Amino acid sequence: MTEDEIMALARRALFEVAPDLEGESINPDESLRDQFEIDSMDLLNFFIKLHDGTGVDIPEKDYAQLATMSGVVAYLKSRLGAH
């Protein structure tokens, strides 16, 4: 998957979890929690969708690396590349 494809997938996952955000522009470097009042449940559902879309298992200890959209893309890219 290219970086753009991962970003598109992550955006789609976020909007599915929080349909009221559909169409919002996302600042890739600001934490999703701060930017959109995403709570723990939203975040968990977001990670589930990322897992479903990429097959990457995301252990709980790695959650901190996925706080921002650019973090999500970097993390998934490196995990996908490592396969």
Partner 1 sequence: MIAFRMPSLGADMENGKLIEWLKEPGDDIKRGDILAVVETVKGAIEIESFDEGVLEKHVATLGQSIPVGETLALIRGIGENSEEVDAGFRAESVSGDGAPKATPAARKRAHEASLDLAGITPGTDGVIGLEQVNAAISTMSEKPDADKTGATTKTKTVKPGLDLTVMRKSIGAAMARSKRDIPHYYVSSPIDCMALTDWLERENEKRSVAERILYAAPLIKAAALALLKTPNLNGFYTDEDFHSASGIHIGVATSLRGGGLIAPALHDADKLSVDNIMTHLRDLVGRVRTGRLRASEMSDPTVTISILGEDTADAVAPVIYPPQVAIIGCGSISKRPWVIDGDIKIRDIITVTVAGDHRVSDGRAAAQFLRHLSNAVQQPEEL
Q: Which residues bind partner 1 (CB under 8 A)?
A: 17-25, 33, 36-37, 39-42, 44-45, 47-48, 51-52, 57-60
- DSSP type of residue 38: -
- Tell me how far, at minimum, the Cβ of 41 lies from partner 1, in Å: 5
Q: Which of residues 43 and 74 has its CB atom nearest to partner 1 in the complex? A: 43
Q: Which of residues 5 and 42 has its CB atom nearest to partner 1 in the complex? A: 42
Whole-angstrom Cα Rg for the chain: 12
Cβ(42)–Cβ(17) below 8 Å: yes
- Tell me how far, at minimum, the Cβ of 20 lies from partner 1, in Å: 5
Question: How far apart, in Å, are the Cα atoms of 26 and each of 15, 59, 82?
Answer: 11, 24, 27
